[in-house]
Structure 1
Amino acid sequence: MKIGIVSQWYAPEPVVIPGNLAEDLVTRGHEVRVLTGFPNYPEGKIYPGYQQRWNDRSREAGVSIRRVPLYANHDSSAVRRAANYLSYAATSTLAALRFLGDVDVVYVYLTPATVFAAPALLKALRGIPTVIHVQDIWPESVTSSAMAPSGRVGRTAERTLHAVMRRIYRAAAGIAVIAPTMRDMVVDRGADPRRTRVILNWADENLFRPVSSTPEARRDIGYRDRCTIMYAGTMGPFQNIESAVRAAASLSDRDEVDLVLAGSGTAEQSARDLAAELGADNIRFLGRRPIADMAALYGAADFQLVSLRDVPIFQGTIPSKLQSALACGSPVVVSVPGDCAELVETNGVGLACPPDNWRLLADRFHQAAKLPADERAEMAQRAHSVYQTRMSRQAGIDQLEDMLIEAAVTGRRER
């Protein structure tokens, strides 16, 4: 088939799904064309070596790539973030008819929702079917953030986005979602349940894989021969780092648990201040580390922490940190609502508790520290096995390819 991929983000940006899909579809015999923007995520600055221009085309790993200009930004300004999203929507739509006008089917990496502008045009003018891969729920992903407008403007924006999302879901020939509860949400909002499938995201398997603990990595995280729980990633308003700090600091015998935090973000400084205020000498901040080093750091720790606030949209979210941890064969402690906690508990790959309750999280830290070494090793083996069977790159791409073929065949019949 001729397959188009529309994604605002693409390698070398740290978004692996579209690039992995494109490369693997080529190896399976398909012709693949990617319509994307110039790389600027997550810093909001165009990457070195790239210069924005209109007709930028390249070929990588057998994939034809066209990059279109956009307004590069990823800061906390609602206006500038909207300009980033809408600029890509506009330029990709202008480029779509010529670049993707003869493909059999289009895959859409649906975040933000504005990326559907170009596929909508292809559907309207050429009848080209689309398979959308929903990564977050709109409008809640917008309205739950600090950038969302309030009052009448906010309510109007929310109603408008709800109407837009209903039209997107109904227009899609196939919908892949990343968690079971997310499937229920999109079906309630107009998606055809017969065309909606749960396909769990995968990790960057070139980076995240089982790595044995080394003396160098243990020194790097400050390992002190006690249960070490590591949080790795963004420290923002949704990650609830404060609860993790309070939980670790509250343990009566701090010698049993170390909490190591690798990463940065808007909540990092307040977490550092809180740890200092509580006098928690069992908490260490490593700062941002190169992603290429993370598998080794995972291997040096005993558990990975996955934490999110208790926000309704997170009921249907499985954070990417979970896939990365399980791909490395690392057991987890999760303080996340909904599907993520259920997956962990059902498969025996870690310990779970409700979010926004640091006392319960402290209890899980204590349980992790008391877990016998042989049980922890069995948990680690299950973690990697669950990743391979349910979340791996091959498992995900097998299912997405099936959806693309089905949509293309159905689309030919309807045209």
Structure 2
Amino acid sequence: MGKHILVISQYFYPEHFRINDICTEWVKRGYKVTVITGIPNYPQGKYYDGYGLVKKRKETFNGIEILRIPLIPRGDNAIMLVLNYLSFVVAGFLWKSFTNIKADYVFIFEVSPMTQALPGVWFAKSRKVPCYLYVQDLWPENVEIITGIKNKYIIGSIGKMVNYIYARCTRIFTTSNRFIKSIHDRGVPIDKIEYWPQYAEDFYIPLEKTSIPEIPDNAFNIIFAGNIGIAQGLDILPKAAALLKEKICKKIRFIIVGDGRYKNELINIVESSGLTEVFKFIPKQPAEKIPEFIAASDAAFLSLSDNALFAMTIPAKLQSYMACGIPTIASAAGETDDIINESNSGVCSLPGDVEGLVENIIKLSNKTEEELRQLGSNARKYYDVHFNKKMLLENMDKYFNVM
């Protein structure tokens, strides 16, 4: 058995995050992998069936040992979300104090909340082992955007926590080049930070164009697949749909696949706007099925709320779409816009720009099948060069072979 990697991630299988595949690949490469995580409840806000405070607290998945520490589920309001974040930290502190696990490295998979990094930092310090942090969300910026909290004392306190975590990590990896400056500006040496973009799992591959019962082929189908939250900025779609009805005769349909805290509100907006024929909502699907839905669609959509932080973010679904070889219609700025333009794999308008989005949808819907195929092919070629899984994992290997 190779080196032992202890992974700290508040979210893990059966919740769907890229860390599941990263850990699986590490096992294949000969590492021993143990994951400290919570009881699965994302994004619905309640424990998954079969899991609980006394059920399935230990589990093995693809050769990975999973240890679940207790936490309060996210629920459906801000208070429950805060309790969810804090409970993982408290349980993590108790776990760290009593565990007899020995590991060679700690790897923290940081999507919000950043608080989840604390048990990993504490463990690494007490055991004197290297601690690697993989930053997907910038804090405290993300807190201000998602919660609307502007109180300088609260944000300042969170900022001190973030600085504490950064200072105690051996190395910091980021999913976006633009995160590097923000982290460096918090006093982190530039040579301690490295861009390590996300890749898509192996099942995200181009499939032959097809039709499936869930997606009728009597329209130009634009698919969105993933978490339906506030940060995704999906409120732009009903506005765009209303404009499209006025501008063109060609039928456009938005296929929304997934679940999340904003889903019910989005459905209500669609229904109250008289746009139900333009939207089709499909429940959350196993990730392995998403390429089939993409293959039955003409283009894929991603959007982010209009904020400077999100201009620095590369949403994980961009890699998934590109790996599947489908043209992307984006309502985003910054790094996402750069990638789509550089790869010539779709169209991008600024966040919140409804008319710009509508023009891009019309532009793409008027392209021939061959032109759409070429955009999809461009996407896959760019993915193979810049987000190649084997290349990225081999680059990470050098940090696990230094002892």
Note whether the superposition's TM-score is higher than 0.5: yes
Could you say which structure has the greater relative contact order, defined with CA pairs below 8 angstroms and 6 or more residues apart?
1
> 2:257 maps to which residue?
262
Unaligned runs of 5+ in 2: none
Work out the CA distance in 2 between the residues paired with 1:175 and 1:253: 48
Letter of the 1:178 counterpart: T
Identity %: 23
For structure 1, which segment, 358-367 or 390-399, has the greater mean C-alpha deviation from structure 2 after superposition? 390-399
CA contact (8 A) 2:259 2:284 kept: no
> 1:231 maps to which residue?
224
Output one character per residue of 1:172-207: Cα deviation in whole Å (capped at 9) or x when no partner.
11111111111221111122211211111123434x
Counterpart among 169, 175, 179 of residue 178 in structure 1: 175
Letter of the 2:217 counterpart: Y
CA RMSD after TM alignment: 2.5
> 1:221 maps to which residue?
215
> 1:38 maps to which residue?
39
Q: CA deviation at 1:297?
A: 1.4
CA contact (8 A) 2:43 2:227 kept: no
For structure 1, which segment, 392-401 or 367-376, has the greater mean C-alpha deviation from structure 2 after superposition? 392-401
Unaligned runs of 5+ in 1: 410-415
CA contact (8 A) 2:118 2:165 kept: no
Residues 309 and 129 from structure 1, CA distance in 2 versus in 1: closer, same or farther, beyond 3 angstroms? Answer: same
Residues 256 and 285 from structure 1, CA distance in 2 versus in 1: closer, same or farther, beyond 3 angstroms? Answer: closer
Output one character per residue of 1:241-272: Cα deviation in whole Å (capped at 9) or x when no partner.
23222223323213164333334545445545
Counterpart among 314, 318, 322 of residue 322 in structure 1: 318
The DSSP-based 3-state class of the residue aligned with 1:21 is helix
Output one character per residue of 1:289-343: Cα deviation in whole Å (capped at 9) or x when no partner.
4234322111111110111111121012111221221121111011112111111
CA contact (8 A) 1:202 1:393 kept: yes
Work out the CA distance in 2 between the residues paired with 1:101 and 1:240: 42
Letter of the 2:6 counterpart: G
Normalised to the residue count of structure 2, the TM-score between the two structures is 0.90
Work out the CA distance in 2 between the residues paired with 1:39 and 1:201: 22
> 1:413 maps to which residue?
none
Work out the CA distance in 1 between the residues paired with 2:338 and 2:233: 19
Letter of the 2:140 counterpart: P
Q: CA deviation at 1:371?
A: 2.3
Q: CA deviation at 1:40?
A: 2.0
> 2:199 maps to which residue?
202
Counterpart among 8, 11, 16 of residue 9 in structure 1: 11
Alignment of 1:56-205 (within 5 A): 56-77=57-78, 79-96=79-96, 99=99, 102-111=102-111, 112-146=113-147, 148-149=148-149, 154-205=151-202
The DSSP-based 3-state class of the residue aligned with 2:30 is coil
Letter of the 1:105 counterpart: Y
Q: CA deviation at 1:400?
A: 2.6
Higher helix share: 1
CA contact (8 A) 2:306 2:352 kept: yes
Residues 36 and 266 from structure 1, CA distance in 2 versus in 1: closer, same or farther, beyond 3 angstroms? Answer: closer
Letter of the 2:183 counterpart: V
Work out the CA distance in 2 between the residues paired with 1:68 and 1:281: 42
CA contact (8 A) 1:248 1:254 kept: no
Q: CA deviation at 1:137?
A: 0.7
Normalised to the residue count of structure 1, the TM-score between the two structures is 0.87
Q: CA deviation at 1:124?
A: 3.0
> 2:392 maps to which residue?
396
Work out the CA distance in 2 between the residues paired with 1:49 and 1:393: 32
Work out the CA distance in 1 between the residues paired with 2:257 and 2:125: 46
Output one character per residue of 1:141-191: Cα deviation in whole Å (capped at 9) or x when no partner.
112124x545xxx32110011111122112211111111111221111122
